[in-house]
Amino acid sequence: MPAGFHRFALVDDAFDGVGFGGARYASLREDPPVGCVPVDWGPLALKCERPGATLWDAIADTVSEVRREHGVVMNSLGIEKADEWFDARKDGYGAEIAAQLLLMAAQRAALLGYGRQDLIRLLEATGIE
């Protein structure tokens, strides 16, 4: 893969039973972001090779583009065992797991009625710099 590019998958894991062929995904199936290919993982998933200064930059840019252009929030990286941590590289598998947990937290917090400021407040409470 070229330098500055990152490989990852994104999934709409909305718990509503809409499968790959669902109308919500029509424009995304027809016109996915550059560097992404739609795949059927039950719900729609995107397998992507996208540019970014870091893996998280590439993921964030892609999630934003999909939401803005197609109205779909991709809230998972398709990682099933996110507690299996074994990589401390900033752009390695550990970074994918951390991004997976953040995307899951944002989606599930919203389902419970928590908003952006609630999430930010909780993150700031950890003291992370």
**pLDDT tens-digit series, residues 70-123:** 999 898 998 887 777 777 788 888 899 889 999 989 998 999 999 999 899 888
* Residue 19 CA to its chain's centroid (Å): 17
Please compute the mean of the pLDDT values over residues 3-7 and round it to a whole number: 94
pLDDT at position 6, please? 96
Its pTM stands at 0.84
Burial of 58 (0-12, 13-18, 19+ CB in 10 A): buried
Phi, psi at 90, each rounded to 5°: -60, -35
The beta strand positions in 12-98, using DSSP E, are: 36-40, 44-51
Alpha carbon distance 78, 10 (integer Å): 7
pLDDT at 63 over 90: yes
Helix pair angle (93-111, 116-125), 10° resolution:
130
pLDDT at 58 over 80: yes
Burial of 105 (0-12, 13-18, 19+ CB in 10 A): middle
Q: How big, in percent rounded to 5, are the helix, strand and coil portions of the chain?
A: 40, 15, 45
pLDDT in tens, 27-42: 999 999 999 999 999 9
Give, in order, the Cα–Cα distances in Å from 61 to each of 9, 56, 116. Answer: 13, 8, 18
Amino acid at site 7 = R
